[in-house]
């Protein structure tokens, strides 16, 4: 009998250890590993940018073509442009997420700014080839990013802009300039919503394509006070734009999709 009790206790202890080990794993461990190691992630990124590049000539040839909902009026004669997000669209920040995992640390804006200042982010697969294809066709490239302008010194009021430009140039991205790099809080009215920055680019350019990793890179009002089903309805409402003038990269690590989930998160899991 004692031997049986010891066996039962031993099995119970083993399950407790296994459960504790699983429960202790950070919530974004596997999503970070997928981005850093999965061949499938690389294939999806290359596929997205290849599909976008294949549509550039058709977009140029059609004067009525615009990807920006903010673009209205007589835009057919404007010079062409594309708009790209930066983080997880052009630059890969998985090493920053990995560092947080290794340190068992939450997101910290101070640590984020330090990572941006390192200028060490590598390019998302396919991004550089797409940008070069656009530049070769005399298509301007705008970067609308929620990297935020933090306070610098009097000579450099937005160090994050210069750091990001140097990072992109190091990777070989051509024609990167401050006037086409639109950061959050670079102007007082530029918050996390990108609508007004898209409108600024569309004021003097015909926007051929939008490329990003978050629904907010394409549509306004998708980050707060909206649920997953409403977001899916918006995607369906604009189904004719996806894969034609809107192209999205996978980002399972973070984004407005996560903020749209109410607590408890497990309540959104669907079984059969």
pLDDT tens digits, 32-77: 999 999 999 999 999 999 999 999 999 999 999 999 999 988 999 9
Query: Are β-strands 80-84 and 140-148 bridged in parallel, bridged antiparallel, or unpaired?
Result: parallel
Check: CB of residue 150 under 8 Å from CB of residue 156. Answer: no
Q: Within a domain: residue 34?
A: no
Strands of the 181-184 sheet, one edge to the other: 181-184, 140-148, 80-84, 206-212, 246-248
On whether the CB atoms of residues 246 and 209 are closer than 8 A, the answer is: yes
Whether 227 is in a domain gets the answer yes
pLDDT along the chain (272 residues), means of 10: 47 42 72 97 98 98 97 95 98 97 94 97 98 98 95 72 98 96 94 96 97 97 92 97 98 91 87 92
pTM: 0.89
Domain presence at residue 263: yes
Our count of domains for the chain comes to: 1
Query: Residue 258's domain is classified under what CATH number?
Result: 3.40.50.1000
Residue 100, domain extent: 45-268
Query: 80 in helix, strand or coil?
Result: strand
147: Cβ contacts below 8 Å, ≥ 6 apart: 86, 87, 116, 160, 161, 164, 183, 184
Whether residue 16 lies inside any domain: the answer is no
- Indicate whether 171 belongs to any domain: yes
Residue 26 lies in a domain: no
32/246 Cα distance (integer angstroms): 25
């Amino acid at each position: 009998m004692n031997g049986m009790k010891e066996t039962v206790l031993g099995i119970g202890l083993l399950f407790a250890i296994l459960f504790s080990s699983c429960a202790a794993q950070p919530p974004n461990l596997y999503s970070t590993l997928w981005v850093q190691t999965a061949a499938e992630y690389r294939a999806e990124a290359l596929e997205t940018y290849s599909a976008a590049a294949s549509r550039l000539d058709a977009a140029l040839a059609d004067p009525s073509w615009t990807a920006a909902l903010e673009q209205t009026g007589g835009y057919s004669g404007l010079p062409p442009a594309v708009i790209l997000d930066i983080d997880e669209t052009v630059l890969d920040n998985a090493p920053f997420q990995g560092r947080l995992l290794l340190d068992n640390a939450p997101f910290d804006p101070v640590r984020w700014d330090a990572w941006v200042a390192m200028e060490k982010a590598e390019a998302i697969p396919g991004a550089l080839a797409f940008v070069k294809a656009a530049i070769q066709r005399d298509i301007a490239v705008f970067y609308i990013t929620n990297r935020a302008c933090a306070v610098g010194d009097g000579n450099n009021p937005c160090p994050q802009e210069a750091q990001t430009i140097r990072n992109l140039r190091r990777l070989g991205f051509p024609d990167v300039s401050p006037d086409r790099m639109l950061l959050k809080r670079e102007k007082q009215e530029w918050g996390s919503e990108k609508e007004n920055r898209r409108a600024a680019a569309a004021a003097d350019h015909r926007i051929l394509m939008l490329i990003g990793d978050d629904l907010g890179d394409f549509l306004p009002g998708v980050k707060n006070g909206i649920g997953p089903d409403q977001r899916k309805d918006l995607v369906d409402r604009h189904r004719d734009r996806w894969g034609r003038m809107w192209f999205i990269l996978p980002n399972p690590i973070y984004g407005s999709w996560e903020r749209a989930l109410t607590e408890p998160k497990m309540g959104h899991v669907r079984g059969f």
